[in-house]
Chain A
C-alpha cells in the first residue's frame, strides 16, 4: 500500500497556541503509527514532541524501518537525540535562512514517495505550506485534516480542505477514537 505523509506539530505561537488539544495530538499520532506502520511507510518531518511518539510506537511495533524522518541541516546541532534512533533519517540541504531551509526540506519530503494520503495534526503555518506542496505533487491523494487536534489542522478543515462529506467533516471535528477514524479514512491502495 502507498506511503502516508504526516504533517504535525504542537503549536506554541499565536493564534494556534490558543486552540489546540495536546492529548488529541498525542492520541492521533500514536493511532496513526499503529494503523499504518505494519503495512506501509510513514514519512514525516522531525519535531521535538512528535518524533519521540513516532519512535516509541514504531519501535514497539517492530516497524522502525518503515518510518522515514526528515531533518534540515540548518538544525543539525539542535535536533533531539531521538531523531538519530531512526534508521531512515534523511538530511536535507540548508538554505540561506530558516524559512528557505524548511521549504527545501518540505519539497524533498513531499516528493519522496507516491503518497496515498496526507494526515494533518495540530500545527502552525508550516502545515499550510505542506498542504499546498502536497496537493501540487499528489493531486489525487487523500487529505485528512484532523480538526479535533486543533491548531492549523482545524483551520484547514474550516477552510474547506480535505473531505467534503458532512459525516466525515463531523468525524474529523468530533471523533477521538483515532484508530477508527484513520482506518475508516485512509485509502486502501
Chain B
C-alpha cells in the first residue's frame, strides 16, 4: 500500500503563473505543522494525471479569460461528485461567472489572495489543530515509552493526542460521551503488545473506531502475533532492531528512522480516514437522491447544499460521530438557511444514544437525521 500524499490540483485558465507564491506559502504552513510539503504533498497541474481518489485531494481553479479546458472541467465534476473541495479563485468577483465554468457557479468563489488561499487549502486538507486528533491506545506496563514518544512526535506535527490507557487496562469501553465529542479524531493508534488488547475491548472500541470512519494503525510488537479482530487495521509489524538499544520493554523507545517511518505512515492513513468519512456522507446523499431530481454542491470544509432543479432546498451539515446537544446548538446558532439539517452516521448508535437523539430531535429547532433516514427528509420537497 503506497503512502498517500496531500495532493493539490491546479486548474483553470490562470494556473500557469499564479500558484507559485501560494505553493511557497503552503510549504511554510506545512513546515509549521512539522510536515514537509515536498515529501507529504504533491502538486498536480491540469487534468493530465488524476489525483488519488482514495486520498483527500484539494483543487483550486484559477479563473480567467478564455475557454475552460474540457478535460479540466471533467476533473472538477469528478471532485464535486466525490465531495472534495474545489476553490474557485478569480481576480475580481464581479467577473466571477465570466471567468469560471458554469459547473463552479453555485460555489462561492474568492478573490485571489495568497495568504487566504493558502489557509483555505490547509483547511481543505483539514490541516489545523482542531482537525487533527489521534488516540493512542496502549497498556502502560508494556509500552509507556513508545506511547510517550509518539505522543510528543505527533504533538509536534500539530495533532491533539489523547492517550488511552483507561479503557485498555480495565477492558471497559471508553465512555460514550468522550467518544462522541471526539468528532474529529482521525486516527486510533494501537500499540499491540502481548497482553494489551483484550478481545472484548477490541470488539467494542475497534467497532466504534470503524463506525466513526477512523483509520486504525496498529504497531505490532516483535514476537507477538497480531491480536484477533484487528484485521482491518493498517499493520506495522515491529522488529527488535526497530527499538533503540533493542529494548522492547515498557520503557523502550523506537529508533529515529523507525519513528519517522511510523509517523509518515500515520499521516498517510489519516488522509485515508478523511476520505472515508467524506465519501460516506457523499455516498449516502447520492443514494438518497437517486432519480436525478436533486443534486448537491459541496462547499469546501463547510456544509453541502441540496438543490432541486436550480433551487436550494436544504443545507446539510454532516456530523462525524453522534451529535450531542452542544454540537446541535452550535450548528443551530451558525445556520443561515431555514432548512438546515444535521446529518450523522447512524451506524453504531446504541440504545442510550438513540434515546438521547430522540430527546434532542423533539427539542432542537434544527433537524437531526441519521444518514440512512435522509431520504425520508428529502421526500417532503417532492
Contacts and interface: CB of A to CB of B under 8 A. Distances in A.
A26 B207 CA distance: 10
Interface in B351-382: 372
A12 interface: yes
Interface residues of B, number: 37
A39 to B, nearest CB: 12
Interface string A28-53: 00110011001000000000110011
Contact of A52 (B229, B272, B286): B229
Given A60-B347, A60-B348, A177-B282, A10 B231 contact: yes
Contacts of A52: 203, 206-207, 229
A183 B377 CA distance: 19
Given A49-B232, A80-B229, A179 B207 contact: no
A49 B231 contact: yes
Q: Which of B82, B229, B272, B287 has the most CB of A within 10 A?
A: B287
Interface string B94-132: 000000000000000000000000000000000000000
A177 B82 contact: yes
A74 interface: no
B250 interface: no
Interface string B278-299: 0110111011001000000000
A93 interface: no
A61 B283 contact: no
B224 to A, nearest CB: 15
Interface of A is mostly: helix
Contacts of A25: 232
A35 B210 contact: no
Contact of A48 (B229, B275, B372): B229
Nearest to A55: B207
Contact of B203 (A22, A80, A174): A80
Contacts of A120: none
A179 B279 CA distance: 10
A61 B370 CA distance: 10
16 contacts: A22-B232, A22-B234, A23-B276, A26-B210, A27-B276, A48-B228, A49-B230, A49-B231, A60-B349, A61-B346, A61-B347, A61-B372, A80-B203, A81-B199, A176-B54, A180-B287
Given A26-B276, A60-B346, A80-B228, 11 more contacts: A21-B1, A22-B233, A30-B347, A31-B283, A34-B372, A49-B229, A61-B346, A61-B372, A82-B203, A177-B282, A178-B283
